[in-house]
Structure 1
Amino acid sequence: MLSILKNRTYRHLFIAQVIALIGTGLATVALGLLAYDLAGAQAGAVLGTALAIKMVAYIGVAPIAGAFAEQLPRKAMLVSLDLVRAAVALLLPFVTEIWQVYVLIFVLQSASAAFTPAFQATIPDILPDEREYTRALSLSRLAYDLESVISPMLAAALLTVVSFHSLFAGTVVGFLVSAAMVVSAVLPTAVRGPKRSIYERTTKGLRIFLHTPRLRGLLALNLAIAAASAMVIVNTVVIVQARFGLDQRSMAMALLAFGAGSMAVALALPKLLERLDDRRVMLVGGAILVAGLTLGVWLPSYEALIGLWAVLGAGYSLAQTPSGRILRRSASAQDRPALFAAQFALSHACWLITYPVAGWLGATAGLTAAFAGLAAIAGAAWVVSKLIWHPRYEHETVAHHHDDLASDHPHVRQGKHHAHPFVIDDEHRKWPHS
């Protein structure tokens, strides 16, 4: 897997990703302490509002940013967004009012909502070989999982010698190093499509999603993924400390078990995907998530929780990691930024649904009800995904007929009935009936 780091451009972008992730992790810890410093016992409400603002920014800004990504120089866009994020992190220690936190968080997360899909859409152009791209996806998954472990540990170590305000300095450094690594990379020139209106560019990724069967299946599977991860993120602390009466270290170990399950699968995925198709692997991952949430209804002990969280981590990685491969082959190079932005927005819309469900059910009806409710959501989403995402849609070359194009159109020079690798674009606005 690490052999792809021999590619200088990808290596620099991967380092940029890792450093920025660690910086973001430090900011997450510091933001919680800042909220308590400003709001005291109401810190939970402040953090909850900040997370809601984050999701709104991700859902609303990503498609708009994706519309402009194909028209702007890649390097200049990515570096500018890193600098915006660094500037916001620099300002956060100086806020004195809660509303200032909300404004800065919206700007920070809006910049992230623009940066992340544009960054993700660049990688397939750098690594056109599917095997190398698969390794890159697994490596990226490992980076996210390791960040969830390293950042809290690093924050804890730093807090023994500095105040929490200094953690924001680590975030600033992270974004500046990320910008420097992007500057040092030689990025391929983005393929620009024809001129379109702002509305067409903004909605293009969503239209590709809705008219591509495998992407509609991916959207349903995103909801199952969100249901399982929401249970882990929202309710681990409640399960460990309220139900089993254990300490914060035990909570950290439970989250580590989830990350370890995810990392183990991420390491195995490149070889696995050489033998099995993406659809089968992702649906197996989704089924594991449904089964894991269902088993959680009868959770007997902390030791069982550790095992269950490791299983859910494995299912999460199986269902989530190959999604980049699905997106890569479902759009032309010029449409990839819009499609990655749509996936970013739609997947976070799923979390915007499941986070409140996980918290509300757990608080009002109990953890058993939370497991059961999220298992029902995940199960229904998995069934819908399996029904929509039929194996016949996995054929790369699709025979189709163009009644909608004039006989002298360049695309039908070889005849109105033809076959080629099929994606939704200006000449192909609907999937052929089969």
Structure 2
Amino acid sequence: MITSLFTNRDYLRLFIAQVSSLFGTGLTTVALGLLSYELAGADAAAVLGTALTIKMFVYVTVAPIVAAYADRFPRRRFLVGLNLVRAAVVLALPFIDQIWQIYVLIPVLQTASAAYTPTYQAIIPDILPDEREYTRALSAAQLAATMETLLSPMLAAAVLTLISFHWLFVGTAIGFAVSAVLVIATRIPNARSATADTFRDRIAVGMRIFAATPRLRGLLGLNLVVAAAGSVIMVNTVNYVRDTLGGTQSGVAMLLSANGFGTMLVALSLPRFLDRLGARPVMLAGGATLIVGLGGAVALSATDAGDWRWGAAIAVWAVVGAGTAAVLTPTGQVLRRSSQPADRPALFAAQFSLSHLAWLLTYPIAGWLTAAGLTTTWMTLAVIAGIGITVAVRMWPRHDPAEITHLHEAGTIDPARLADADRVGDRLYRHTHVYVIDAEHRRWPTQGAREHALVA
């Protein structure tokens, strides 16, 4: 159970600090959308799209570098400093009055955020040296990141019904300050020295597992679907409510609440379906739901008048939330199933970078293409989502057993690993076990190779 980790007080403090930082980043994104509209009006989508594109570029470039060299920093002071930098930036955001100032502050904020997560992840194995506890901590980190993505819009919507969006920045700064205090109170051991080829290995291992594992190639397609639909919510909600529907800040809060409600409803009911159906049908159904939601958004954007649009928009935003939850909630399970415990940090880091690459593609489309109209923008994103789900269906085989029968040639693997294998020739062994890509299994067995192994 993940909750058993919380008996370790140092881990509990660090985990709460991470959750506080994640939700702070998510709330800042929502508040930034409203600030962009205040400064740019109808051009807010382009401003927000640019700001979020900067965010994703920083995440894709900075996070892997910091992950490789996190062991060289005085980590407690580094994390505290990152939280204080983020608190200072978000406190400055309500006072800016020029669009260019957003483009100056956002890279600073997101560089600090991109550096925080891999540093946190590098600390966890030092606090939880037991391999099983560390594996559960990885799952908890994935769960926290997923729940932030799912719940931040809903939390922001609840706050916006009571106060102006400017106060979201103040609340976020308080969250970062709390995170800094919790880090100060945590006993963080000195970093263990890393080998010279750590950077190359950490980048290569996760990417190699992704490239060689069919279900993970399918996950890449689903990442693209989530990013395409999510960009509509994160970038275009403010403009759609204010300019198309003629609503106010409370209208923005209402659509974000609908998105969060759809997310929460599916996330809470999903475990029973996952146990019975498995990840693939649930996640593909989520991807299909997102495409339905995008189709509904396109239809709405082509309609010029009618109060019924509010109800329809609430339904569409809820459908997108439901689809997002159906894809993201099982992701950690798929990653764990596809890797050895020793390779999981590299695989989780690869998913972090690759999923953000998808957003790096869709954010600028959602922001910059709005000059051609929301219908054109959302149709383009729907096409991208269609490509993503096509990749997922084709790459992730319907028959995806955990155990695979395959052949090993003598001398290519540690003999101790073949203790339960059957010898089927002078140099061949037939082996059946849970199959993942690792140092001794570098390629996924083709269907022909599996049939040959069974015949042998």
1:321 to 325, 329, 342: 329
Aligned residue pairs total 422
Does residue 426 in structure 1 map to residue 426 in structure 2? no
Alignment match, 2:424: none
Q: Which runs of 5+ in 2 are unaligned?
A: 126-130, 304-308, 422-428, 448-456
Residue 214 to residue 185, structure 1, CA distance change in 2 (3 Å): farther
Name the larger-Rg structure: 2
Identical aligned pairs, as a percentage? 45
Distance 1:40 1:280 in 2: 42
CA contact (8 A) 1:281 1:319 kept: yes
Does residue 8 in structure 1 map to residue 7 in structure 2? yes
Does residue 380 in structure 1 map to residue 387 in structure 2? yes
Alignment match, 2:452: none
Deviation of 1:221 after TM superposition, in Å, equals 0.8
| Other structure's SS at 1:418 match | strand
Deviation of 1:315 after TM superposition, in Å, equals 0.9
2:83 to 77, 82, 85: 85
Does residue 309 in structure 1 map to residue 307 in structure 2? no
Q: Match for 2:407: what amino acid?
A: H
Deviation of 1:279 after TM superposition, in Å, equals 1.0
Q: Match for 2:340: what amino acid?
A: S
CA contact (8 A) 1:332 1:425 kept: yes
Distance 1:101 1:55 in 2: 15
Distance 1:343 1:79 in 2: 27
Matches within 5 A, 1:17-416: 17-25=18-26, 27-28=28-29, 48-68=49-69, 77=75, 80-90=78-88, 105-116=106-117, 125-126=132-133, 141-151=146-156, 154=159, 170-181=171-182, 196=197, 198-299=199-300, 301-364=309-372, 366-393=373-400, 395-403=401-409, 405-406=411-412, 411-412=417-418, 416=429
Deviation of 1:343 after TM superposition, in Å, equals 1.0
CA contact (8 A) 2:339 2:436 kept: yes
Q: Match for 2:355: what amino acid?
A: S
CA contact (8 A) 1:86 1:173 kept: no
| Other structure's SS at 1:401 match | strand
CA contact (8 A) 1:138 1:267 kept: no
Q: Match for 1:402: what amino acid?
A: H
Q: Match for 1:269: what amino acid?
A: L
Moved more, 380-389 or 9-18: 9-18
Deviation of 1:302 after TM superposition, in Å, equals 1.8
CA contact (8 A) 1:211 1:430 kept: yes
Deviation of 1:53 after TM superposition, in Å, equals 2.0
Q: Match for 2:246: what amino acid?
A: G
Write out per-residue CA displacement over residues 50-73 of structure 1, whole angstroms, 9 at most, x where no aligned residue. Answer: 32221111111233334446x679
Q: Match for 2:382: what amino acid?
A: A
CA RMSD, 1 decimal? 4.3
Q: Match for 2:360: what amino acid?
A: L
TM-score (norm 2): 0.76
Q: Match for 1:261: what amino acid?
A: G
Deviation of 1:8 after TM superposition, in Å, equals 3.3
| Other structure's SS at 1:246 match | coil
Write out per-residue CA displacement over residues 309-344 of structure 1, whole angstroms, 9 at most, x where no aligned residue. Answer: 111111110011111111122222232222112111
Distance 2:360 2:281 in 1: 27
CA contact (8 A) 1:257 1:310 kept: yes
CA contact (8 A) 2:284 2:389 kept: yes
CA contact (8 A) 1:83 1:175 kept: no
| Other structure's SS at 2:399 match | helix
Q: Match for 1:200: what amino acid?
A: D
CA contact (8 A) 2:150 2:321 kept: no
